Amino acid sequence: MIHKVILADNQSVFRTGAARLLAVEDDFRIIGQCDDLARLMKAASGNHNASIVFAASLQPDVNVLVKAAIEAGSTTTAVLENGESPQAYIAAGVRGIVQRDIPNAELLRCIRQVGRGEAYVQRRATVGSSGFESDKVAERVRDRLTPKELKILGLILQGYKNKDIAVELKNSEQVIKNYLRSIFDKTGVSDRLELALFTMHHKILAHAATRANDVKASTSILVN
C-alpha cells in the first residue's frame, strides 16, 4: 500500500525532517507540503485518498478540516505541541494523534496505521514531578550550553537563518557561525537540521532553549 502524504507545518525544520524520513520509505510518497493554514485547507480539499499530517500550531478549524478530508477520502493526523490535550482533536474525528517530539519509528507506524483506517494515539511515558520525562542526555547537553548558545538554539527552532540570528542578537554572522560550531560539538550533531531534530526529541533541552528566548523577550519589554 502506497501512502500519499501531505505534510502541513509552520515549523520548517520539523516538516523537512519528516519529509526526509518518509522519502526513504518505499510505501510513502509526499504529494504536498504546506507551511500555512490556507495551503493546508486547499491541499485537503484538492487531493484524494491522502494521509494529511498537520501541526496543531497552524490552528485550523479541526471540524472543517476533518470534514474536507473525509469528503476527499483522506485521513488526518494531528501533531500536537508537547503537553497539548488531544481531546478536541479526537472529538472532531482526527484519526492520528502524536506529539511534536514523537520518535521517527513511531511517526511512521502512526501514518501507516491511520492510512489503513485505524486510529492511533501516541502513548505518553510516565513523567516526573517536573512535567518532563527523565532525560540524562538532554540534561547533560543543556548544562554544557551557555545562555547565548541556548538562545541561538531556540531561534533555530523557530526557523531563523544565521543572518536573522545575527540581527536578533546584534552579532556578526561569522560570530553566529562560531557559536553554531560550538553547539554542534556539544550536541554531537553535524548540521542545523540534525540539531533541530535532536532538540525536538529532547523536551528538556527544547524547553530550556525556548525559555532562554522568553527571558530575553521579557527583559526587552521591561527595558523598553
Asked if residue 173 belongs to a domain, the reply is: yes
Mean pLDDT computed over every residue of the chain: 85
Confidence of residue 201 (pLDDT cuts 50, 70, 90): confident
Based on the fold, state whether residues 101 and 177 are members of the same structural domain. Answer: no
Based on the fold, state whether residues 55 and 104 are members of the same structural domain. Answer: yes
DSSP assignment letter at 184: H
Count of domains forming the chain: 2
Instruction: Choose between 213 and 49: higher pLDDT.
Output: 49
Asked if residue 140 belongs to a domain, the reply is: yes
What are the DSSP calls for 49-67, one per residue? Answer: SEEEEEEGGG---HHHHHH
Based on the fold, state whether residues 33 and 85 are members of the same structural domain. Answer: yes
Based on the fold, state whether residues 116 and 169 are members of the same structural domain. Answer: no
Q: What is the pTM of this model?
A: 0.65
Query: pLDDT for 91-141, tens place per residue?
Result: 999 999 998 878 888 899 999 999 998 999 987 643 343 444 557 888 889
Structure confidence at residue 56 (pLDDT) = 93
CA angle 215, 59, 98 (to 5 degrees): 85
* Contact present, 132 and 207 (Cβ < 8 Å): yes
Based on the fold, state whether residues 34 and 96 are members of the same structural domain. Answer: yes
Based on the fold, state whether residues 89 and 8 are members of the same structural domain. Answer: yes
* Contact present, 50 and 31 (Cβ < 8 Å): yes
Half-sphere exposure of 56 (CA within 13 A, CB side): 19
Based on the fold, state whether residues 37 and 109 are members of the same structural domain. Answer: yes
Based on the fold, state whether residues 21 and 116 are members of the same structural domain. Answer: yes
| Residue ranges making up the domain that contains 43 | 3-121
CA angle 207, 14, 33 (to 5 degrees): 150
